Structure 1
Amino acid sequence: MPARIQGVLTAIVTPFDAAGAVCPDRLRRQVRRQMQFGNGIFCNGTNGEFFVLNTEEKLRVTQTCVDEAAGKVPVVAHIGENSTATTIRLGQDVAAMGVDAVSVITPSFVPLRQHELIYHYTAIADAVPVPVFLYNIPARTGNTIEPATAAALARHPNIVGIKDSAGSYESLKGFLDAVRDIPDFDVLSGPDHLAHQGFLEGCSACISGLANVCPEGVSLIWKHFRDGDVAKSKAAQDFISGLRKDLYAVCFAPAAVKKATALLGEDVGDSRYPILFSEQDLATIREVVAKYGNVPAF
């Protein structure tokens, strides 16, 4: 078995230049910024705008992250596509770049039954030569991986865990309970407000969009928990939960994250999809950045 992935992986934004093209140099800076705090990298995810990247761009993003991380922190690449065959092709190309693992979102648009999801993920895990994480985010795809399905897939030797981004404690707990007795299968928490609770209940890692905005604050949730200081971990979580509440009130969460990252002075460009920020939106995000720009000494 490969080394277990633990701690914080940042769902890293994909920087674009003024012309809207992927900018590897700016992405390298963001990878280094996360590595300063020990955060791993989760690339081509929702915060990375995978849904508006073409295949060549996804490969360029992945290669850039792998090269810059240089084995110092784990890199997990999201490869989920709407067809099984396309996901496999992308996964094989990404695996050749040296990622530590891949993550696969459920297909969207077509409503799938649980046995169809089992077929889809089994075929991918059979064909892709690096560890596979399931990725549950039903609000975006319309398809839900049920806990019993995750438990069934956990028996596959190349399926090593699940990222749950359903958004609720109940969903996260359902997966933790379903696989608690299955060795070498990890649950990763997706919602930033559940990172601390997830660690308390057995999650090995969290995938954080807000680490783009506050890499130190999110890292402290894990570091204090790892070191046995649950109170300080909870204090860091409360800080990040406040950031989440204030920032996500503006608009679609990944768009708000990228704009806040840009307003911190990080040259990540604009989101590709049609998000329009009013002057009030920008004023609110500036206030949030000012409020949470300095991490207290937890």
Structure 2
Amino acid sequence: MSEPLFRGVLPALVTPFRNGAVDEDAFVSLVERQIAGGVHGLVPVGTTGETATLSHEEHRRVVELCVQTARGRVPVIAGAGSNSTAEAIELVQHAKQVGADAALVVTPYYNRPSQEGLYAHYAAINEAVQLPVLVYNVPARTSVDISNATLLRLSKLPNIVGVKDATGDLGRASLQRVECGEDWVLLSGNDDQGLGYVAQGGHGCISVTCNVAPELVARMYDDALSGQWQGALYGQDRLIRLHKALFSDASPAPAKFAMAQLGLCTDEVRLPITPCSEAARAEVLVGMREAGLI
């Protein structure tokens, strides 16, 4: 069996802010901390990176900084999605130009295309840019669910290489393994379900929790992917309350609060996201204590 193009845990990196601007120094430090913690790749400017409220200039700069800081030590999968196909192509082209290893392209949101429209969207990106693309399926945010049948069609295109699955339907991993073949990359988008996704044949997870606890999360996926299930389950048990707590308020506010407790960045977010509530902060602190982080 061939090795998947991407595997293990890849943090969905937060974009740190200070006084309203991207805190570049903090971002570089975060990337270095993730690599030192043993992660298997990096994902800048996804949902957790608050890409919806970054300017295009900021978006491009964060991708460039990530690639420059990583220096080839781990792959960089740049967030590059849009509900405009032309804009998505521009962002994927930029990711390629600055040296990213792949692009993460969310299903088009708000305009709710048909399955044929979804196929045409990704097919156009496949034709326009020679860069591996992961389809990001997150119906709770986009109001559209790309079907396994459409993913099967897309898997036959040379540059569409896999999926970030945030549907919560673990059985999809098994079906896609059977239908799309062993080269199709299967990454979970849900921290609390990531271990189960790997047990169903997935290759890893694009993780929010990894921002806070890279060593613990990386060790869990190393254990799972090497068949050390007892160690992986121990890691999951240790992290489960933190996994849940980081979504106790609008993401990434809880993650940034946790990171601020560790002195990694401020807890500053951009409207319409607001700092997390007192109740969410309490949950985060409980999760951090159970994980042994504080």
Question: Do Structure 1 and Structure 2 share a fold, with TM-score over 0.5?
Answer: yes
Task: Give the alignment's TM-score, normalised by structure 2.
Answer: 0.92
User: 1:213-241 CA distances to partner (integer Å, 9 max, x unpaired)?
Assistant: 11112111111123331111111112222
Residue 139 of structure 1 is matched in structure 2 by 140
256-265 or 70-79, which moves further after superposition? Answer: 256-265
State the distance in 2 between where 1:59 and 1:220 align: 31
Task: Give 2:52's aligned amino acid.
Answer: F
Give the structure 1 partner of residue 194 of structure 2. Answer: 195
Judging changes above 3 Å, is the alpha-carbon distance between structure 1 residues 3 and 66 closer, same or farther for their aligned structure 2 residues?
A: farther
Question: What is the Cα-based RMSD across aligned positions, in Å?
Answer: 2.0
Change (3 A) 1:185 1:284: closer
Secondary structure in structure 2 of the residue aligned to 1:152:
helix
Contact 2:269 2:275 in 1 (8 A): no
1:165 aligned onto 2:166: yes
* Offset of residue 68 of structure 1: 0.8
SS at structure 2 position matched to 1:41: coil
Looking at structure 2, the residues matched to 106 and 32 of structure 1 have their Cα atoms a distance apart, in angstroms, of 30
Matches within 5 A, 1:258-277: 258-274=256-272, 275-277=274-276
| Residues 131-187 of structure 1, C-alpha deviations (whole Å, 9 max, x = no match) | 011000111111111111111110101100000112x2xx23224313424242111
Pair 1:180 & 2:160 matched: no
Corresponding residue number in structure 1 for 2:204: 205
Whichever residue aligns with residue 75 of structure 1, its letter is V
Q: CA deviation at 1:277?
A: 3.6
Q: Which amino acid aligns with 1:25?
A: D
Q: Distance in 2 between matches of 1:3 and 1:88?
A: 25
* Structure 1 match to 2:57: 56
Could you tell me how far apart the structure 2 residues matched to 1:97 and 1:247 are? Answer: 31
Q: Structure 1 stretches of 5 or more lacking a match? A: none
Written as runs of structure 1 = structure 2, the 5 A alignment for 1:124-135 is 124-135=125-136
Structure 2 match to 1:103:
104
1:24 aligns with 2:62: no
Shift of 1:77: 0.5
**1:255-291 deviations in Å (ceiling 9; x for gaps):** 2112111122112441112314444544443343334
For 2:150 and 2:277, locate their aligned partners in 1 and report how far apart those are by CA, in whole Å: 43
Partner deviation per Cα, 1:27-67 (whole Å, 9 max, x = no partner):
11000110012212111111111111111111110011111
Normalising by structure 1, we get a TM-score of: 0.91
Q: Unmatched 5+ residue regions in structure 2?
A: none
CA distance in 2, matches of 1:193, 1:285: 14
Q: Distance in 2 between matches of 1:277 and 1:243?
A: 15
